[in-house]
């Protein structure tokens, strides 16, 4: 064989061997079959109706992306949560989805690099998490302020020990009202033990539990404004006890959380997602597309 012929034959044989080896490695490693990722969702009160749409979205994304989804419905505060989280990734979880909480930041920093972390809410100050799925809180606050501004004044209720999300929302509402020239007073309240409510003006709450408590009080019909949904709040909205609620699509939130975590696992990079927000009222709640947003999994 001449030199050129030998070189050509060697090149072809080398390519053949390389392709064969790769093929064998892929076959041995189960290549060809779609990889199944294990993702755990740590969600306080995940069984409650508040998270029905969220779970529906997560389940749909898991179905489309071959994800084995595991919901951890309840966990205690602080160290217990951290321990549960550590157990998940040590148990083989490829990714986790959590609500934002400062308590989890230290343990998330200990998480291995391979673990994909999705945060349902704003990025924490310490920047943990591969992706955050959250609504535009500033926009939410503005929308709530615009709805409540019609009543001329507003009392804004925040739970004691409220989390970062609630505080951000509260600030946004205050800024929005200030921008509209509507006086606003912030008060701290416990949903189980509400103080006497003002008899005039809008009553706003940035946490669903507080809003549920407010709209249950006699004399608040048409004056309650808030953020988030639940079956109770939807009923209240329908009955007119809640005047307006600013909501995001929980279904989309859940769907995107699992999608982004899977994207991180397959491609090694992903990004934050900001959700649209909508103002639901008694008039539009049963009309599409609002009905599809509020009753995504009913």
Partner 1 sequence: MGKRSLITWLNERFSRGSIRSTMFASFTVSAVVAILLTGATLFARFSAQMDATIEEENQILVDQVNQSLSTYLRDVIRLSDSLSYNVIKNTDMESERLDERMRLLYNTYSDYVENIALFDSAGSLVATAPPARLREGADVRERDWFRRAMERTENIHFGGPTVENLFADDAYRWVIPLSCAVELTRGRETGLGVLLIDLKYQAVSDLFSSVQLSGNGYVYLIDGAGELIYHPARQRIATGLVEETNLDAARRSDGVYTEYRDGQLRSVIVRGVGYTGWKAVGVVSQPGFRLGDSQDILFTVVIFCAFFALLILMNFYLTTKITDPIRLLEESVARLEQSMEGSIYVGGTTETRTLGQAVQKLVDQMRKLTDDIVREHEEKQKSELNALQAQINPHFLYNTLDTIVWMIENEREEDAARAVTALARFFRISLSKGRNIIPVRDELEHVRNYLLIQEMRYKNKFRYEILSEPAVEELSTIKLVVQPIVENAIYHSMDFMDGGDGLIRITARLAEGELQISVEDNGLGMTPQVVEGLLAGSPAAEPRVPGRGSGIGLKNVQDRIRLYFGAQYGVTIDSEPDAGTLVTLHMPTVPFGEMEES
| Min separation Cβ 76 and partner 1, Å | 30
Residue 4 CB, nearest approach to partner 1 (Å): 8
Cβ contact 235:211 at 8 Å: no
* Residue 89 or 278 with smaller CB distance to partner 1: 278
Nearest approach in angstroms of CB 222 to partner 1 is 14
| Residue nearer to partner 1 on the CB measure, 66 or 87 | 66
Task: Report how far residue 105's alpha carbon sits from residue 241's, in angstroms, rounded to the nearest whole number.
Answer: 38
Give me the least distance between CB of 298 and partner 1, in Å please: 5
CB nearer to partner 1: pick between 129 and 135: 135
Shortest distance (Å) from residue 183 CB to partner 1: 34
Nearer to partner 1, 118 or 201 (CB): 118
Binding site for partner 1 (CB under 8 A): 1-2, 4-5, 8-9, 12-13, 15-16, 19-20, 22-23, 26-27, 31-32, 53, 56-57, 60, 64, 231, 234-235, 238, 249, 251-252, 255-256, 276, 286, 288-289, 291-293, 295-296, 298
Specify the residue, 174 or 252, whose C-beta has the smaller distance to partner 1: 252
Looking up tokens 């004044």 gives 153
Shortest Cβ distance from residue 208 to partner 1 (Å)? Answer: 16
Residue 288 CB, nearest approach to partner 1 (Å): 7
Q: Give the 3-state DSSP-derived string for the chain, with helices as H, strands as E and coil as C.
A: CCHHHHHHHHHHHHHHHHHHHHHHHHHHCCCCCCCCEEEEEECCCCCCHHHHHHHHHHHHHHHHCCEEEEEECCCCCCHHHHHHHHHHHHCCCCEEEECCCHHHHHHHHHCCCCCEEEEECCCCCCCCCCEEEEECHHHHHHHHHHHHHHHCCEEEEEECCCCHHHHHHHHHHHHHHHHHCCCEEEEEEECCECCCCCCCCEEEECCHHHHHHHHCCCCCCCCEEEECCCHHHHHHHHHCCEEEEEEECHHHHHHHHHHHHHHHHHHCCCCCEEECEEEECCCCCCCCCHHHHHCCCC
Q: Is the CB of 50 or the CB of 182 nearer to partner 1?
A: 50
Work out how close the CB of 252 gets to partner 1 at its nearest, in angstroms, rounded to a whole number.
5
Of the two residues 48 and 188, which places its CB atom closer to partner 1 in the complex?
Answer: 48
Of residues 110 and 231, the one with the C-beta less far from partner 1? 231
């Amino acid at each position: 064989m001449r030199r050129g012929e030998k070189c050509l034959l060697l090149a072809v044989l080398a390519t053949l061997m390389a392709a064969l080896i790769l093929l064998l490695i892929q076959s041995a490693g189960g290549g060809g079959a779609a990889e199944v990722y294990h993702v755990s969702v740590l969600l306080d009160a995940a069984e409650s109706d508040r998270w029905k749409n969220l779970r529906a979205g997560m389940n749909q994304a898991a179905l489309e992306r071959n994800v084995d989804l595991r919901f951890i419905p309840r966990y205690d505060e602080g160290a217990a949560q951290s321990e549960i989280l550590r157990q998940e990734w040590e148990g083989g979880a490829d990714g986790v989805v959590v609500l934002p909480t400062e308590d989890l930041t230290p343990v998330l920093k200990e998480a291995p690099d391979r673990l994909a972390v999705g945060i349902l809410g704003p990025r924490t100050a310490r920047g943990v998490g591969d992706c955050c799925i959250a609504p535009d809180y500033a926009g939410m606050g503005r929308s709530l302020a615009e709805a409540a501004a019609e009543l001329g004044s507003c009392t804004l209720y925040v739970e004691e020990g409220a989390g970062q999300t609630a505080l951000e929302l509260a600030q946004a509402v205050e800024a929005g009202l200030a921008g509209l020239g509507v006086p606003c007073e912030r008060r701290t309240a416990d949903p189980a033990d509400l103080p006497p409510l003002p008899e005039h003006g809008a009553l706003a709450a940035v946490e669903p539990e507080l809003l549920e408590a407010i709209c249950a009080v006699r004399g608040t019909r048409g004056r309650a404004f808030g953020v988030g949904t639940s079956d109770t709040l939807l009923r209240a909205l329908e009955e007119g006890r809640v005047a307006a609620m600013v909501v995001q699509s929980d279904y989309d939130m859940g769907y995107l959380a699992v999608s982004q975590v899977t994207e991180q696992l397959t491609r090694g990079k992903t990004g934050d997602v900001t959700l649209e927000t909508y103002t639901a009222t008694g008039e539009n709640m049963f009309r599409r597309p609002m009905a599809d947003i509020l009753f995504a999994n009913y």
